[in-house]
Amino acid sequence: MHEEILSWNEMCGREGRNLQAGMHFRSGGSYSVLLMSTRKNAPYPDAMAEGGTVLIYVGHDAPRKNGNDTALVDQPRYLPKGGLTQNGKFHEAAQAHKQGNRAAERVRVYEKLRDGLWADNGWFLLVDSWQEDDGVRLVFKFKLVAVDDPLSVADESYVAERRRMIPPAVKLAVWKRDSGRCVQCGSTENLHFDHIIPWSRGGASDTAENVQLLCGRHNIQKGSRIE
Ligand SMILES: [Zn+2]
């Protein structure tokens, strides 16, 4: 799994929709989409856990209305007219999975690294959710496990088959060091964060020394050499 680097337009084009809102339950037909960020000034404090194999995603506030600060009230589960909010939809899916009533929802996660710079963080499975007091009000939290191929992972085995994300600080350091270009040919198109030594062979994800920028062509060439 190589985390692909995208612009906002490329991301929206790929998903066939405007992704402004951040949470999109079943927007992909058979899967959902979440936008995340762990940046200090990010709107919600999403976090990585369990060695970078788990994402703890924070639910979203009600839309601002008449200047009301909705960051001070409980994150809503229901819309004013009674339907589920995005929080409610993801929460119901996670609870149904926990109770054994459905497979874990497949989720595609995109991460904002900085303005105009996004990474496709790949596939995740939504395995749990809860409400938590953040000191001011109740917020929703969602636990997602990173996996390589969500269709090949049986529900019981996702713990063994989890994938490790590259921390955002490492991605930004690599982007800067490699000047936003493929280290092989200098291309600025279709770039990926590549593990120099693959994680499956013991290579680290949490240090910039083992991560480099490769264009799509050189990424594929390297992949076929390693296989
Ligand atoms: Zn290249």
pLDDT tens-digit series, residues 9-23: 999 999 999 999 999
Torsion of CA 67, 71, 74, 77, to 10 degrees: 80
Mean pLDDT on 150-167: 70
Token look-up 């960020």 returns 37
Please tell me whether residues 63 and 124 are part of one structural domain.
yes
Mean pLDDT on 88-117: 94
> CA-CA distances (angstroms) from residue 61 to 85, 86, 136, 139?
10, 10, 13, 8
What distance in angstroms lies between residue 112's CA and the mean position of ligand 1's atoms?
23
Please tell me whether residues 154 and 185 are part of one structural domain.
no
What distance in angstroms lies between residue 117's CA and the mean position of ligand 1's atoms?
19
Please tell me whether residues 58 and 160 are part of one structural domain.
yes
What distance in angstroms lies between residue 9's CA and the mean position of ligand 1's atoms?
22
Please tell me whether residues 157 and 140 are part of one structural domain.
yes
Q: How many angstroms separate the CA atoms of 89 and 73, rounded?
A: 19
Please tell me whether residues 76 and 146 are part of one structural domain.
yes
Please tell me whether residues 77 and 187 are part of one structural domain.
no
Please tell me whether residues 67 and 99 are part of one structural domain.
yes
Residue 48 confidence (pLDDT) = 92
Is 96's pLDDT higher than 80? yes
What distance in angstroms lies between residue 115's CA and the mean position of ligand 1's atoms?
24
Burial status of residue 41 (CB atoms within 10 A of its CB: 0-12, 13-18, 19 or more): exposed
pLDDT tens-digit series, residues 123-146: 999 999 999 999 999 999 999 999
Is 161's pLDDT higher than 80? no
What distance in angstroms lies between residue 2's CA and the mean position of ligand 1's atoms?
14
- Residue 201 is part of which domain span? 171-226
Between residues 161 and 4, the one the model is more confident about: 4
Where residue 143 sits, what CATH number does that domain have? 2.30.280
CB-CB contact of 32 with 26 (8 Å): yes
End position of a domain, from candidates 116, 138, 165:
165
Is 78's pLDDT higher than 90? yes
Residue 129 confidence (pLDDT) = 98
State which residues have CB under 5 angstroms from ligand 1, the bound ion.
182, 184-185, 187, 215, 218
| Parallel, antiparallel or unpaired: strands 211-215 and 191-195 | antiparallel
In degrees and rounded to multiples of 5, residue 92 shows phi and psi of -65, -40
Please tell me whether residues 202 and 111 are part of one structural domain.
no
Please tell me whether residues 152 and 178 are part of one structural domain.
no
Residue 218 confidence (pLDDT) = 94
Residue 154 confidence (pLDDT) = 57
Is 82's pLDDT higher than 90? yes
Secondary structure in 3-state letters for the chain? CCEEEECHHHHHHHHCCCCCCCEECCCCCCCEEEEECCCCCCCCCCEEEHHHCEEEEECCCCCCCCCCCHHHCCCCCECCCCCECHHHHHHHHHHHHHCCCCCCEEEEEEEEEECCEEEEEEEEEEEEEEEEECCCCEEEEEEEEEECCCCCCCHHHCCCCECCCCCHHHHHHHHHHCCCCCCCCCCCCCEEEEECCCHHHCCCCCCHHHEEEEEHHHHHHHHHHHC
Q: How many angstroms separate the CA atoms of 89 and 23, rounded?
A: 10
pLDDT tens-digit series, residues 184-217: 999 999 999 999 998 778 888 889 999 999 999 9
Is 227's pLDDT higher than 80? no
End position of a domain, from candidates 145, 165, 185:
165
Please tell me whether residues 80 and 182 are part of one structural domain.
no
What distance in angstroms lies between residue 120's CA and the mean position of ligand 1's atoms?
19
Q: What is the number of structural domains in the chain?
A: 2
Please tell me whether residues 48 and 159 are part of one structural domain.
yes
Please tell me whether residues 148 and 196 are part of one structural domain.
no
Residue 159 confidence (pLDDT) = 59
What distance in angstroms lies between residue 40's CA and the mean position of ligand 1's atoms?
32
Q: Taking the complete model, does pTM exceed 0.75, yes or no?
A: yes
Residue 64 confidence (pLDDT) = 81
